[in-house]
Structure 1
Amino acid sequence: MKQMRKQLTKNAALAAASVVVLGLVAPVTASAASGTPLEWGPCEGSGLDPRQECATVPVPVDHADPGGPKIGIAISRIPSEKPEARRGALLLIPGGPGGSSLDEPSQKGQALPQEVRDAYDLIGLAPRGNAPSAPVDCHLDHADLAASRLRPWPGPDGSVTENMAYGRRTADACARTGDALLGHISTADNARDIDRVRAALGERTISAWGVSYGTYIGAVYNELFPHRTDRIVLDSNLDPTGDAGRTQVSRAWLAGFEQGVEDVFAEFARWASEPGNPDRVADDPAAVRSVFLTLAARLDRAPLPWPGANPEILNGTALRQTMLDSFYDPDSFPTLAKLIRAARQGTVPPAPPAPPEALLQNAIAVGAATICGDSAWPTSTAVYEKGVAQSRVKYPLTAGMPRNAMLCAAWPRPQRQPVRITDRGPSNVLLVQNERDVATPLAGARKLRAALGDRAVMVTVNSTGHDAYLDNGNACGDRTVSRFLATGERPDRDVYCE
């Protein structure tokens, strides 16, 4: 959602975790009036490549009213490193919702192979509502910024009462701000903003590398503006169809954690039972699972103090949330294992530092507006009670969370009609997907692949973690994507990278 720690979610928390560096890259005042060149200037912040420059693109608050009020979308650029080999612009579409790629030309963009950096200007952006692009904020209480609240974990007995109360409380807080932009933050709005950015850059077409939620933005952009797309890479892919294609897209994303956690837990359990592992939890994978479930139940009954956490207790929910966070990247497996080992002894390691509160507030507001606006969410407690009860039986690791009520159950603004992803348009999409991904499981990626039909080819990577290309994937997958970006060469059919 290394990305939602750089990603709502790690969805709303994930969104928050995904945008930890957001505040470092505020561009100086620069603007592009309609039909005039962009005014590029130095980017504010530290740790940036000195070649990176920043500007602002004006876009309508409401794309249905192009002559109405405007906001500025902050963008960044590192130009092609070999102008004679330049093909165009490669937009780095961030995850989230609530993530930014404004600093990514200086960071993840520099991991791209030389031939890709030669071929493209690398473009980052802060999507609407994300600082510094007209930032929004619902001014939530500190307690309501806890990751265990942002993820809709039910009570230990499966109760959703507190979740519904949280939804009403936070939705009311967002409504009280009176910020009109909250009603105009959606995936379709982001896609239309991207086309304004493309035009401001002077590009006839644009290429893109979208990650996590960015895959949905990329797919929607390619649906709305197919003639404006060049080479599109979608990495760690979200299910675009929802429940039988109905307007429940973001509910399907949450539900995906059921299978995503199961897929990754098997890998964690193997790792956590290996002889010689200093963080070994148990002697075999089945025992690791039993230890985790038993400990979570015990902490539900008798939480431990956890200074520095929000709230300052380690209960079953906090353990499950740590599991979820740790599964985005196998490098984080030791974090969960150490917590399990310590908690079984009645102690806990220090709580991990939280992102800055201003960042959390901003990411949560953007994530809420997007997720609640993109999909229809039931308002009935009974609907969630039934879903949670069924999920707890079938998927005990996630304890009913993926079928529970987010604050969207009380969101006061109307839901937008999602853009349907189809197989109509140019065949210029390459999907890359890890086989074991907690946030965007393979099952959901296959639905996007099916929706795109002959427009796409998918590379499935035998690897674990979120973010496949140049991160948690493997050399075979990386080579395939790099070749496509650099040369346009794409496999003739779906492939599996062992």
Structure 2
Amino acid sequence: MDIPVPTLTWKTCPGDASRTAHGQTVECATVDLPLDYDDPTGATTPVSVDRVPASGRRIGSLFVNPGGPGGSARDFARYAGYLIGPGIRRHFDVIGVDPRGIGAPPYALCRYPSEDAPPGLAVPYPVTQHQAGRQIRADRILDEDCASGRNAIVDHMSTADYVRDIDVVRQAVGDEQLSYYGISYGSMVGQTYAAMFPDRVRAIIVDGVLDPIEWTAGRDPSVPSTYRLGSGHGAHEALVSALRECDRVGRDRCSIAGHAERIWQRTYRLARHGRLRVDGHRLVTQDLVSTALGALYQAPAIKRQLVRFLHDVAEQRRHRTARASRALASDWADLVRVRDRQQAAGPYGYAPPGRALTNRVTDVGFESVVCSDAVNPTDPWAWQRASRTADTAQPWFGRLWTWASSLCARWPGAGGDDAYRGPWRTTTSTPLLVVGNTHDPATPIQGARTATRQFAGSVLLTLDGWGHGALNTSACVRTWMAAYLIDQELPPAGTVCRPYRPLFP
């Protein structure tokens, strides 16, 4: 349903937010949009928008989103134009529309009636039956409290709601059609816009692409959405291929070459049997897996942090000296910092949102989107069953990814009423540019291949490298992104780009 196009009042953003790192002015605006687009004249919710004006001959606006769900599009807009490709900052106003419930109050929050938060796990995700039971009980308590103690915005945070916000802002800035770049979960935003408004597409790039079918309705909805996306398989493939590349290039370029995969498997077994200790603390498999995953998101971290840690584990087992133990502890701390930065972004995100909460309030921005968009099982034990399957089908990482959506089993939010779950096959006014990485640990390239098939005439641009997404990792990718956005020129089908530098230089 159409709504009156609002007027945006732009002001220079306050304080340190007034300029980008490259000296460009940043402008801010807030617009009140319908809380429920089924009731466009009813209650509203504020949506925050930032704009970095074009520095040269302006083509139009480029809307951007860094994923999450929960990453700040406004923060991303401050540097996205620089990363995407040459000429973008000059020719486009780069605009970040923060997802409702994320970037400004009212936030997507649930409140507990007591002073204490529900009991959680001491580890990142369950492995044993007992741990699964504790996770399910904690999920039940949070779901029950969300049923009565949630902010109203929680019921209106589907990707389709956010896409409608973007479309209203597009009209407000005077663009006839949408130009857009989205990475990771931002790829779902781009695909949803293209499917809902196919005649309003000027140029849409989706990077680090989620399979739109598995994210939403699912080919088998009896399986949790975060299992069926295949991210556990992607992370396994990314790690194994990186370790084999280490063996291929030799010890001059990779310190564990010759035995790389064996050293990882030995380290994993040590953690599984309780014999992996760092600085006096016992690390379990969940610690090792979640921390290794963080490194897989950024290709340089594979060598600088992950390989160095695995090397130190082998050295510490071999020599058992104080010096070896200190090196192991230092490198583990570096690896944890990499993990923590990535976890702040959300599993399908690029840039961190960063907001602290009290023990009586929980941020449910991620769940408000995921549980609204996706059809999930209603039996909470389906997550444990899928995890057992993942141990074979998606080794090491499958359990971690599977449990990311466990709150959806009894999710009380009503956002699914307005979610878009297909059809996805459509012809858009301009074909999409789909960008996929061959060794992506979060969004395996199969998602990009699926997306390319859904949107007629779209082209898959492949980056043959490691890490999550292709943003600012390859001169070839940046050149084609800029050509597409500025001149609407797509690369030839089958184009494969190389990264700036090899995994092990």
**Class of the TM-score when normalised by the shorter of the 2 chains:** 0.7 to 0.9
Letter in 2 for 1:328: Y
- 3-state DSSP class of the match of 1:103? helix
Q: Which moved more, 1:269-278 or 1:94-103?
A: 269-278
Q: Does structure 1 residue 436 correspond to structure 2 residue 439? A: yes
Instruction: Note the C-alpha offset of 1:343.
Output: 5.5
* 8 Å Cα contact 1:187/1:220 also seen in 2: yes
Deviation string 1:1-37 (CA, Å, 9 cap, x unpaired) is xxxxxxxxxxxxxxxxxxxxxxxxxxxxxxxx95553
Instruction: Note the C-alpha offset of 1:76.
Output: 0.7
Q: Give me the CA root mean square deviation.
A: 3.2
Task: Flag the 1:479–1:127 CA change in 2: closer, same or farther, 3 A.
Answer: same
- Counterpart mapping for 1:25-424 below 5 A: 35=5, 37-44=7-14, 46=16, 48-49=19-20, 50-82=24-56, 85-132=57-104, 134-138=106-110, 148-149=123-124, 153-156=125-128, 160-242=132-214, 245=219, 251-252=225-226, 255-270=229-244, 273=247, 275-276=250-251, 280-281=255-256, 283-298=258-273, 301=274, 304=277, 314-333=283-302, 334-341=304-311, 345=316, 348-349=329-330, 350=333, 351-352=336-337, 359=355, 364-398=363-397, 400-404=399-403, 406-414=406-414, 415-416=416-417, 417-420=419-422, 421-424=424-427
Q: Which moved more, 1:270-279 or 1:159-168?
A: 270-279
In 2, Cα distance between equivalents of 1:329 and 1:360: 25
Give 1:22's aligned residue.
none
Letter in 1 for 2:293: L
* 8 Å Cα contact 1:306/1:314 also seen in 2: no
Deviation string 1:173-207 (CA, Å, 9 cap, x unpaired) is 43342311101111111111111111221222120
* 8 Å Cα contact 1:253/1:440 also seen in 2: no
Instruction: Note the C-alpha offset of 1:365.
Output: 1.1
Instruction: Note the C-alpha offset of 1:254.
Output: 6.2
In 1, Cα distance between equivalents of 2:427 and 2:6: 33
- 3-state DSSP class of the match of 2:370? helix
In 2, Cα distance between equivalents of 1:144 and 1:357: 25
Query: TM-score, with normalisation over the residues of structure 2?
Result: 0.80
Q: Does structure 1 residue 469 correspond to structure 2 residue 471? A: yes
- 3-state DSSP class of the match of 1:258? helix
Give 1:446's aligned residue.
449
In 1, Cα distance between equivalents of 2:223 and 2:204: 21
Task: Flag the 1:142–1:110 CA change in 2: closer, same or farther, 3 A.
Answer: farther
In 2, Cα distance between equivalents of 1:286 and 1:158: 31
Instruction: Note the C-alpha offset of 1:315.
Output: 1.9
Task: Report % sequence identity.
Answer: 26
Task: Flag the 1:436–1:125 CA change in 2: closer, same or farther, 3 A.
Answer: same
Instruction: Note the C-alpha offset of 1:268.
Output: 3.0
Give 2:348's aligned residue.
none
- 3-state DSSP class of the match of 1:210? strand
In 1, Cα distance between equivalents of 2:362 and 2:313: 31
Deviation string 1:57-109 (CA, Å, 9 cap, x unpaired) is 22111111101111111111111111xx3221100122011111212232232
Query: TM-score, with normalisation over the residues of structure 1?
Result: 0.81
* 8 Å Cα contact 1:60/1:69 also seen in 2: yes
In 1, Cα distance between equivalents of 2:170 and 2:120: 35
Instruction: Note the C-alpha offset of 1:302.
Output: 5.2
Structure 1, unmatched stretches of 5+, are 1-32
Instruction: Note the C-alpha offset of 1:214.
Output: 0.7
Instruction: Note the C-alpha offset of 1:462.
Output: 0.8
